Amino acid sequence: MARSLPKRADVAVVGGGLIGLASAWRLAQAGRSVVVVERAEVGAGASLAATGMLAPAAEHEPGSDLLLPLALDSLARWPGFRDALQAASDIDIDYRQEGTLVLAIGRDEVERLRFRYELQRRSGVAAEWLAGTEVRRREPTLRPSVTAGVFCPLDHQVDPRRVMRALVLACRAAGVVVVEGCAATGLDWSGPRVTGLVTERGTIAAGTVVLASGAWSGAAGLLPDHLALPVRPLKGQSLALRTTRQTGTLSHMVWTEQVHMAPKGDGHLIVGATVEDCGFREGVTAGGLYALLEGARRVLPGIEEMEVEAVWSGYRPTSDDDAPIIDTLAPGLVAATGHHRNGYLLAPATADAVAALLTTGALPEVARPFTLARFRTEARAIA
């Protein structure tokens, strides 16, 4: 039976993805009455398509200096977030701490990896250069052609399916009303102030609306033109392989220039992900799967014997600088979106920042660079 829509709440959240639910949970823990409105099912956007890597070190690349402090802050919040989530839901989220091995094959890739490694070192990110023999000692199923690697011991991972299931339970236990199959269609305004959320099943009067609609946050509809957000979808395709004792598996997350592979506690090896700037184009393509399988086989020959268990695609919510947007757009209207390929990594810090913004009126120091002001400053500098 469809869940009935409350008539009022302190906070109405648009989007039952990771960011919407994590924020709702934190707000409910802070004493707010919260409704989450999801037009499909919880996690149906990017959140169930993700690999679940919490990888600030492997992710660190030229241009991501702005993000690094927030990424490290959020990673540091993960153990507390995990413990609270597991306690509230009684679900083990498969939190793994083996780190990432970033691989290079051949001279050109080694040179590029060396550049990345030096950037990591300059930024103070823990990283260790490994010769090919040492890489294979740590991951014996890799091909002998692997020339070198960088070990990033800080990087962790979770299982997105378990996290999303746990978040729904934690939210409900904290009193959050999660309404699925109900699209938000507009905002109720009273002068300059947002006073409610209009949905296809009625209006919720709300002190604050939190827009956490992922890759759809930039689409026309809910927001007036002058508040439009610079967020677009970046499609990613992934697949899950079933590993057995015979096929062997990996113990670390393994990255190459083509793919990432993440071994999960249930025996799956996730291979991801394509990056396609093609708008909302549904479906898994032969080209996408071919690229993933070819990239994986180049370093891990054992994949040939692994069963393909699932294939899927999703849309990363990507802002113009690939960093999140956490900001007050108008009185009574807050955005928490644009987490691109780092939503899992950034979820605890984002949820805490949203809760702080609604409770104290200000963002914590570490989240302050992620307001929309940075885009206005860039536009002024170019003009």
Ligand X SMILES: Cc1cc2nc3c(=O)[nH]c(=O)nc-3n(C[C@H](O)[C@H](O)[C@H](O)COP(=O)(O)OP(=O)(O)OC[C@H]3O[C@@H](n4cnc5c(N)ncnc54)[C@H](O)[C@@H]3O)c2cc1C
Contact set with ligand X (CB under 6 A): 14-20, 37-40, 44-47, 49-53, 183-184, 212-216, 236, 238, 272-273, 314-317, 337, 339-345
How far apart, in whole angstroms, are the C-alpha atoms of residue 282 and residue 40?
A: 15
Q: Rank residues 110 and 198 by Cβ distance to ligand X and give the closer one.
A: 198
Q: Rank residues 81 and 315 by Cβ distance to ligand X and give the closer one.
A: 315
Q: Rank residues 244 and 280 by Cβ distance to ligand X and give the closer one.
A: 280
Residue 219 C-beta: closest distance to ligand X, Å: 7
Residue type, 217: S
Residue 199 C-beta: closest distance to ligand X, Å: 7
Residue 314 C-beta: closest distance to ligand X, Å: 3
Q: Rank residues 87 and 275 by Cβ distance to ligand X and give the closer one.
A: 275
Q: Rank residues 175 and 181 by Cβ distance to ligand X and give the closer one.
A: 181
Residue 125 C-beta: closest distance to ligand X, Å: 16
- Provide the 3-class DSSP secondary structure of residue 138: helix
State both tokens at 57: 């070190």
Helices (H), 67-207: 68-89, 106-122, 132-138, 160-173
How far apart, in whole angstroms, are the C-alpha atoms of residue 232 and residue 279?
A: 7
State both tokens at 76: 């540091």
Relative orientation angle of helices 68-89 and 160-173, to the nearest 10 degrees: 60
Residue 239 C-beta: closest distance to ligand X, Å: 10
Q: Rank residues 132 and 348 by Cβ distance to ligand X and give the closer one.
A: 348
Residue type, 85: L
Q: Rank residues 136 and 369 by Cβ distance to ligand X and give the closer one.
A: 369
Residue 55 C-beta: closest distance to ligand X, Å: 7
How far apart, in whole angstroms, are the C-alpha atoms of residue 291 and residue 258?
A: 8
DSSP classification of residue 339: B
- Provide the 3-class DSSP secondary structure of residue 136: helix
Residue 236 C-beta: closest distance to ligand X, Å: 3
How far apart, in whole angstroms, are the C-alpha atoms of residue 352 and residue 330?
A: 20
State both tokens at 145: 């052609």
DSSP classification of residue 200: T
